[in-house]
Amino acid sequence: MDIILYNPLSNKGKNVKIAEKLEKQSNKKGIKSQILNLLDIHNVESFLSAYSSDDRIIIIGGDGTLNRIVNQINDTEILPQVFMYKAGTGNDFIRSVKTKGKFVDIKPYIKNLPTIEVNGKTEKFLNGAGVGFDGFVCYNVNVSKSAKNKSNYFKNVFKSFINYKPVSALIDVDGKVFEENKVWFVTAMNAQFFGGGMRLAPKMRRDKDYLELVIVKKIPKWLLIILFPSIYLGLHRFLYKYVQFYQGKRIKVELLTDSYLQRDGEHEYPVRKFEVNK
C-alpha cells in the first residue's frame, strides 16, 4: 500500500494536486493507496504502527516538511519503506543525497541525525544550523508575503546585506575554545548544501561522524556581496583569510548580542547561544 503524505503549507498549496497525481499512478499499477494531510497526523507512533514493511510512505515536500517529520518521529521504529518526492523550494536534503530519480529512499538518512539545543528546546536538523547572516536571511524570507522562490530569496539576501551587522562569538569545538569577531556566519553543517543549493561545506558528507562548522568573518561587506554567489560553487573555501572550517561532534556558540538562528531554513529569534551535537 502507498501512503501519500502532503503538507498543505508547502509549495503554495500545490502538493495536494501532486498527491492526487501519485495516487492515480499507484492505482494504475494495481497498488492500493491513500492520501493523508500531514497536519492531520497527531500521534506519529500510532500512525507508523498501523503499517508494515510491505507498505510505502511517500512524503511530498522539501526540507521544511521533512524537518517537521523527523522531529515528530524521534526514536519511533519505522517499519514501512519511506520515500520523498521532491516538491519544496529549497530541497538541499535531496541535493546532498545525489539521486536522479523522482522518488528518494530517505529511510537510511533520517536516523542518528544531529541535534541543536537552543532556547530550552532540543531538535533534530537535516542540513545545517547556525546563527548570523544566514539566520537573518531566513527570517526575512519567512516573514515575506511573497512566494518562497529563488527570486524572493535573492531579493531578501540583498535586503539583509544592507541591514545585517556582524557579531562577536565565543566558540567551543570539542573543548577547543576561541573567540571570533565580526562574524557573518557561524553554521554547523551535516551536509554540503544550505540556502537552496549553496555549497557552504563543499567536502561535508552525511555519512561522517562529525559536523563541519563554517565561519565567515571579517570580510568587507562589498567583497561579500560580490563573492556571495561563489558559495554555490564552493569557491569561498579558498578565501582563507575570511573563511574557516572546523570539524567536531560537539559545538557550542555564545554571542554577545541577540542574533537570528536558522535550522534547515526555519528561523528563530532572539538567540544568544546554542549547542549542536552529532
**Domains assigned to the chain:** 2-109 (3.40.50.10330), 115-277 (2.60.200.40)
Tell me the mean pLDDT in the region 163-189: 96
| Other beta carbons within 10 Å of 197 | 15
Q: Are 199 and 230 in contact (CB under 8 A)?
A: no
For CA atoms 235, 148, 138, 173, the dihedral sign is negative
Tell me the mean pLDDT in the region 201-222: 94
Q: Are 199 and 233 in contact (CB under 8 A)?
A: yes
Rounded Cα distance, 145 and 198, in Å: 23
Question: What are 58-89's pLDDT values in tens digits?
Answer: 999 888 888 888 998 877 888 999 999 877 66
Which residues contact residue 171 at a Cβ distance below 8 angstroms, ignoring those fewer than 6 apart?
Answer: 177, 178, 179, 180, 186, 213, 215, 251, 252, 253, 254
pTM of the predicted structure, to 2 decimals? 0.89
Half-sphere exposure of 150 (CA within 13 A, CB side): 7
Q: Which amino acid is at 124?
A: K
**How far is Cα of residue 105 from the mean position of the Cα atoms in its chain?**
17
Question: Rg (Cα) of the chain, in Å, rounded?
Answer: 19
| Other beta carbons within 10 Å of 164 | 19
More confident residue, 33 or 196: 33
Residue 18 pLDDT greater than 70, yes or no: yes
Secondary structure of residue 8 in the 3-state scheme = coil
Res. 15 pLDDT band, cuts 50 70 90: confident
Res. 276 pLDDT band, cuts 50 70 90: very high
Question: What are 227-236's pLDDT values in tens digits?
Answer: 788 888 899 9
Q: How many residues are given for the chain?
A: 278
Residue 200 pLDDT greater than 90, yes or no: yes
| Other beta carbons within 10 Å of 14 | 13
Mean pLDDT, the chain, whole residue set: 90
Question: What are 99-158's pLDDT values in tens digits?
Answer: 777 788 988 888 889 999 999 999 999 999 999 999 999 999 888 877 666 677 778 888
Which pLDDT value is given to residue 124? Answer: 95
Cα end-to-end distance, the chain, whole Å: 34
Which residues contact residue 91 at a Cβ distance below 8 angstroms, ignoring those fewer than 6 apart?
Answer: 62, 63, 196
State percent of the chain over pLDDT 90.
58
| Cα separation values, 106 from 93, 97, 99, 153, 247, Å | 10, 9, 11, 26, 25
Which pLDDT value is given to residue 75? Answer: 76
Res. 162 pLDDT band, cuts 50 70 90: confident
Using the structure block, give the residue that is written with the C-alpha cell 552529532. 278
Tell me the mean pLDDT in the region 43-65: 89
Which pLDDT value is given to residue 243? Answer: 95
Which pLDDT value is given to residue 30? Answer: 95
